[in-house]
Amino acid sequence: MAVEKQLSGADLTRHQTVILWIIHSKGENGNTIHRKTIERLIGEWYDLGSPAISKVLRAMADKKLNLISIRESKTSGREKVIRLTKKGQQTVNIMMKRTEVFIKLIADKLTDDEIVKGMEFMSRVGEIVESGTAEK
């Protein structure tokens, strides 16, 4: 939760933060992703339905935030493609820098051995979650 708070900063909601992170980490070139992919992946973090996701995406595309653009897919009129705007990419970069500083503050208080063991643990957790076996 503390890392999520650092990612979000003062301006983003938790759901907006997760969507930006999904686009950055799972999107094509870190900036483009299909809406259905966001819907599938956000389910791993939050229990959000399609209407709630649409509401968050519309707010992110609104002129006030202007973090993403929403376009129809070239291959399917029913599918939407979500792309980070220039402001959206800048926001992701700020999120990353802010979180790196936070993690460094934590890492500075850990031994090298604790860091290695922690990274091994988190890597293994990621493998289990990605494989879907954590849901059984």
pLDDT of residue 117: 95
Number of structural domains in the chain: 1
Q: Which amino acid is at 71?
A: R
> Angle of helix 50-61 relative to helix 14-26, nearest 10 degrees?
90
pLDDT of residue 7: 76
pLDDT of residue 10: 82
pLDDT of residue 134: 61
C-alpha radius of gyration, the chain, whole number: 16
pLDDT of residue 75: 84
Neighbours of 99 (CB within 10 A): 18
Q: Which residue range forms the structural domain that includes residue 18?
A: 2-135
d(CA 108, CA 60): 35
Residue 35, domain CATH: 1.10.10.10
The segments of the chain whose pLDDT lies below 70 read 44, 133-136
pLDDT of residue 121: 95
Nearest to 49 by CA among 39, 59, 41: 39
Neighbouring-strand partners of residue 82: 33, 70
Whole-structure pTM over 0.85, yes or no? no
